[in-house]
Amino acid sequence: MTQQTPSTQPSQIHFGKTLLALCALALPGILSLIPVIMGQIEALPLDALGELAEMPPALVIALSLINPLILLFIAVSIGNLLAHRVGLRSLLAEKVSHGTPIWPQLYPHIPMVLGIGILFAFMVLGLDALMNPFEGTDLAEAAPATLPGLLSQLVLGLLYGGIVEELLLRWGVMSLLVWIGWRIFQRGKGQAHPALVWAAITLAAILFGIGHLPALAGMVELTPLIVFRTILLNALGGIIFGWLYWKRSLEVAMVAHAAGHIGFFLVNFTIFALNLN
């Protein structure tokens, strides 16, 4: 893979059209959070719900979706404003702004990134088993997986992980970090230096890992090993997806991220099927 040359860098995108298109693309991922939110509400004791216990469930869910929607709006807006300035691309943004076809630019990379995503999943599961960070915790003694539960995790991974997280962490955060470095160290001139891009990829990946800690803290007591494992394994994914975003496009990174969740599903489903025998 080669870095884009200045002559092939995308031109300025249409902010409004791209905002609508990318937010519409992410909407199913936001809605896929609803079963997670419902499960969290049901798991809370009645006295912990407070005023929420008196609200209609639909209103509680709607209120719970406000924060992710706001974060999505901010991240997409940042990417729309800054990504093209530093040579980072979204095929969908180029499509709605200039009519550039998506599929001819995407499909040549699909076999490769599917393989990368699935291999990443196997690597993560292998490292996780090697570190065994949850030994002796409630998660290690959790009830066996069910097929509906595995399918629910797959849908969440494909829609929220593959689309929403890439818009948040790559289109939003990574684009912002590259642009900041480009403005500070290059005074906004020329193509962003690879060292600046790698620094942005790495920092966004670490933030990606840290972002998983609050949800995990609600399920298990965080130990240094669990914190290290969570940041490391998620950051590995963030580096891979960030590199693909830089070298190809946001959509290629999305496919790789989604493929990682397909890999997780295949392994977990195999374990589930073997346990039935």
Least confident of 6-10, 19-23, 223-227: 6-10
Percent of the chain residues past pLDDT 70, beyond the cut: 89
Model pLDDT for residues 164-212, shown as the tens digit of each residue:
999 999 999 999 999 999 999 999 999 999 999 999 999 999 999 998 8
Q: What's residue 15's pLDDT?
A: 96
- Residue-level pLDDT at 44: 66
User: Is pLDDT at 6 greater than 70 in this prediction?
Assistant: no
Q: Which residues contact 109 (CB under 8 A, 6 or more apart)?
A: 248, 252, 255
On the CB side of 232, CA atoms within 13 Å amount to: 13
**How many C-beta atoms lie closer than 10 Å to residue 204's C-beta?**
25
- CA distance readout (Å), 122 to 151, 154, 207, 269: 18, 15, 22, 13
Query: What was the pLDDT predicted at 2?
Result: 42
Long-range contacts of 136-142 (CB under 8 A, 24+ apart): 137/220, 137/221, 137/226, 138/219, 138/220, 139/219, 139/220
pLDDT digits (tens, 9 = 90+) for 227-237: 999 999 999 99
For the stretch 12-33, pLDDT in tens is: 899 999 999 999 999 999 999 9
For the stretch 138-168, pLDDT in tens is: 676 665 688 999 999 999 999 999 999 999 9
pLDDT at position 219: 79
CB-based burial of residue 77 (10 Å sphere; 0-12 exposed, 13-18 middle, 19+ buried)? Answer: middle
Nearest Cα to Cα of residue 170 among 90, 106, 236, 101: 90
Q: Could you tell me if 167 and 79 are in contact, meaning their C-beta atoms sit under 8 angstroms apart?
A: yes
Q: What does the DSSP 8-state code read for residue 8?
A: G
Dist CA 190 CA 197 (whole Å):
13
Distance of CA 51 to the CA centre of its chain: 32
Phi, psi of 78 (to 5 degrees): -60, -50
* pLDDT at residue 10 is higher than 70: no
- Cα separation, 21 vs 27, in Å, equals 10
CA-wise closest residue to 166 among 117, 214, 123? 117
* pLDDT given at position 237: 94
- Nearest CA to 240 out of 166, 178, 172 is that of 166
The larger pLDDT score, comparing residue 57 to residue 69, is at 69
**Residues making up the chain, counted from first to last:** 277
CA 76 – CA 114 distance, rounded (Å): 25
Residue 132's pLDDT is 85
Q: Binning pLDDT at 50, 70 and 90, where does residue 7 land?
A: very low
Which of 77 and 147 is assigned the larger pLDDT? 77
pLDDT at 21: 98
Please state, in angstroms and rounded to a whole number, the distance separating the CA atoms of residues 216 and 139.
Answer: 10
